[in-house]
Structure formats: structure tokens, C-alpha cells
Amino acid sequence: MHTTIADTRRTRAPSLIREAGLGYFPIALVARLPFAMMVVGILTLVVSARGSLALAGVTSAMTGLGTALIGPLLGAAADRFGQRRVLLVSGTVNSLMLLAIAWLAFATVPDAALLVVAFLIGASMPQVSPLSRSRLVGIIGRTYPADRRTTTVNGTMAYESAADEIVFVFGPVIVGLLATTLSPAAPVIGAAVLALVFVSAFALHPTASAPAASSASPASQAPARELFRARVIAPVAGALGMGLFFGSMLTSLTAFMAERGIPEQAGLVYGAMGLGSAALALGVALFPARFTLTARWLTFAAVLVGGTLALPFVDSVGAIAVCLLVIGVGIGPTLVSQYSLAAAFSPKGRSATVMTMLGSAVVVGQSAASAVTGLVAESSGAAAALIAPAVAASVVLAAGIANAIASRR
């Protein structure tokens, strides 16, 4: 029988790399860096320019508030109008606001001006990570047979979580290098350039040209009330807990290292946790199907809690490094489980909205925990601040329990 090239293309097994294009993945990875650099970069900039840790903490918190209030709306707009237009507008506005705060921080303007611009930075923050997840899940739904979709989505969420871990580990490191070698404004300016170039490239990539899930027929989009179902809210609450953990862990670790006279090494110790987490996140794809997403969340959240409970009792850099290695085992699989469950239970036509809700929850938790943990460390010392990660881990576990109850119902 004569076989044409078109027949071969139709019959060969689908590949996500082939469908998305090999260039998609490095673009999507680098486009996340501004997201990981903004909060720490703004904190460093304001401390250096204004000499006030309190003002710097509030300014960073305003960035998180802007993301919390507007981020999910950007996801809803992407669901309704398509990702390309939303990303191009938000990326451009975000770059301009970052350049504005780099100038205003050293200008003779009231502190309130910094807070307003910080809010606008958070509000316009390009939601690359959740929109990438939504984009890839859409490709899987269109090109993969039904019997392979669940496994492929789980593997994709594993990769996406590992990518997030990598940028959230190296983002603060890049901020530190730019701030110490160039100027305190360099990280923010660098984030503005990255946002303008790589977020635009992400927006213009061919994978963004697919019509929005609901653009053709608004009636096909599930009503907004479906976003408030327990199976959707539980992963969002879990992502908030992960954000609380990231913010409290980095801040309390910095305080711990500062008490030992080596605060500049905090990023290196923190990085060990992130690399271990990223490696295990990728390994999630090898877990058997009978080890369900709900069970994975509960199992690895328990590991996370166990690791954090030991933190207040450590008294050496080596001991805290061991704790962080244990904690890293729990982070990656927990994040993968949360995003996979969110993808599975996203209401029809609301995938980008749900993914953006999770991404915004992480940023909000990180910003809030950084500010609160910093105050605790300043007033009561690092030992007290190291209790905060255990509280955050407990939130993650509680959300996992709530998800398990909802799944049984």
C-alpha cells in the first residue's frame, strides 16, 4: 500500500516537543525570570536607595497585592481574548513600570509614589508560568489520544514545576550578582529588559496563535462560579501555602546566615534545596498511576512539614543544609500534584484563569511571608523566624487534606 507523507504525519505518535516546537521551551523558561527577580529586586533596590527595610518590605508586599488582585483577571482575559494580546500589553506595561521604579527610588519623590508603582508592577506582571501550563495542556488536549492525556499532563506539570524551581532559585542569585557588581538598580532594569524581549517572544510564539478556549463561543465557557468549587480552591490554597513557605524560608534563612556573619551565602544554601526539589519534580513522571495525585500531595506535604519542624533547633550551617535537602524532597512533587489537579478540574474554558490563580497565590504568599518573617527576625531573632516555614508547610498539608475530603465527596 502506498503511504504518503501526510499519512505518516497523521499516524505517528504525537510529541509535545514537536507540537510546541523545540524553541518554545527555552523562551518560556527565560521569560519566567523577570517574575522571579521582581520581588527580590525591588526589595534590594528600595533598601539601597531609601535605607529603610520597613519601606522595602511594604513595597515588595504591594507588588504581591497587585498580582493578587489583577493576576487572575489577566488569566481570565487570556481565556477570553487569547494569550498573545494580553501578554504583549502586560509585558510592555510591566517593563515601563520597572524602569520607572528604578528611577523613582533615587528621585526626590514621596514614598507613596514607590508603593503605587510597585502595585502597578505586580498588577501588570506577565503570567508566563501559568499561561505556559495552560498552553501546553491545550496542545495535549488537541493532539493526544484520550488514553495518553493524563500521563502526558502529569509529566508536563512535572517539567513546568521544575522550570519554576530553577528560576525561583537562580532569580535571587542573579539579583545578588547584578546588585553587587553593577548597581542596586541593575536587577530591576535587567528584569525590565528580559520582560520586554522574552515575554514578547513568548507572546509571539506560534503556540499562542491558537484561538482562546472561549473566544469563538462565549457560551462554551463555564460560569465564573465554577472557579469556586472545592476541587479548584484546594490547589489554590495549597499554592498559597507554597508561596508562604518560599517567602518565609528564604527570609528566615537569610537571618540565620546573617547571625553567623555570612548573609551573602544564604542564596547558595537555599539553592541546594531548590535543585533537589527540581530533580524530584521531574521524577514525578515515573511514579505509578496507583500513587494518585491526592496521595502524592499528602505524602510529600508531610515530608515538607517534617523537615521544617527541625529548623528552629539547628545551630550550624551544615545542619540547616541537611534540613533543606529533606525539605526539597517534599517541595517539587507537592507543586506538581497541585498544578496537575488544577489542570484536571479546571472548568471548561477557564484553564488560564485557574493556572493564573495558582501562580498569583504563590507570589502573594511569598511577598506576605517575606514581610512578616522579616519583622519577626528583626525583633526576635532567626530562631523565632525559622518557625514560620513550619507554619507555612502546615497550610500546604491542610489544603491537601481538604482536597482529599473534596475528592471523596
For 22, the enclosing helix (H) or strand (E) is none
240: exposed, middle or buried (Cβ count in 10 Å: 0-12, 13-18, 19+): buried
Grid cell 488569566 is found at 75
Residue 225 CB neighbours (<10 A): 8
Question: What pLDDT, on a 0 to 100 scale, did the predictor assign at position 390?
Answer: 94
Give the up-direction half-sphere exposure of residue 21: CA atoms within 13 A in the CB hemisphere: 11
Joined together, the cell numbers standing for residue 363 give 507570589
Angle between helices 128-143 and 53-81 in degrees, nearest 10: 30
Joined together, the cell numbers standing for residue 344 give 484536571
Question: What pLDDT, on a 0 to 100 scale, did the predictor assign at position 215?
Answer: 42
Nearest to 116 by CA among 106, 101, 127, 103: 101
Long-range contact pairs involving 46-54 (C-beta distance under 8 Å, separation at least 24): 46/105, 46/114, 47/184, 48/179, 48/184, 49/105, 49/106, 49/184, 49/185, 50/105, 50/111, 50/114, 53/374, 53/378
Measured between alpha carbons, how far is 259 from 251 in angstroms, rounded to an integer? Answer: 13
Nearest to 118 by CA among 193, 190, 180, 68: 68
Please provide the DSSP assignment of 151-200 as one string. Answer: HHHHHHHHHHHHHHHHHHHHHHHHHHHHHHHT-TTHHHHHHHHHIIIIIH
The domain defined by 20-210+218-408 carries CATH number 1.20.1250.20: yes
Question: What pLDDT, on a 0 to 100 scale, did the predictor assign at position 349?
Answer: 66
Question: What pLDDT, on a 0 to 100 scale, did the predictor assign at position 1?
Answer: 44
Please write the tens of the pLDDT for every residue from 272-303. Answer: 677 667 667 666 667 777 888 888 889 999 99
Grid cell 517572544 is found at 201
Please write the tens of the pLDDT for every residue from 307-324. Answer: 999 998 888 888 888 888
- The residues of the chain scoring below 70 in pLDDT are 1-13, 52-54, 169, 172, 210-228, 263-268, 271-272, 275-276, 278-279, 281-285, 349-352, 409
